[in-house]
Amino acid sequence: MNYWEKRKEAFGPEKFTMRLTLSEALRDDLVALEAGVYSLLPHRDASNRQLMYLVPRNHTGEGYSSESMVSC
């Protein structure tokens, strides 16, 4: 399986080629994004990579689908 196959699986045939922005591929996932399950930390690691913090208890599933959370 390659990147594009996995991306098509996550976003579907209509959106997988769109840019990963809030106005394009993620436009229907704002509720899931705002749930606070994933947060970008303000600092980067020693290799300058962005760090993400996961808070599983915020994953309630209210107002968004599992597919939407996978897209996030």
Tens-digit pLDDT profile for residues 26-68: 888 877 777 777 788 899 999 999 898 878 777 777 777 777 7
Q: pTM for this structure? A: 0.57
Instruction: Give the pLDDT confidence score for residue 72 in this predicted structure.
Output: 66
pLDDT at 21 over 80: yes
Number of structural domains (the chain) is 1
Which residues in 36-65 are b (16+ Cβ under 10 Å) and which e? Answer: ebeeeeeeeeeeeeeeeeeeeeebeeeebe
Q: Could you tell me the residue range of the domain that residue 22 belongs to?
A: 3-71
Quote the CA–CA distance of 51 and 38 in Å, as a whole number. 10
* Residue 20: pLDDT band with limits 50, 70, 90: confident
Cβ–Cβ under 8 Å, residues 37 and 72: yes
Asked if 25 contacts 19 with a C-beta cutoff of 8 angstroms, the reply is yes
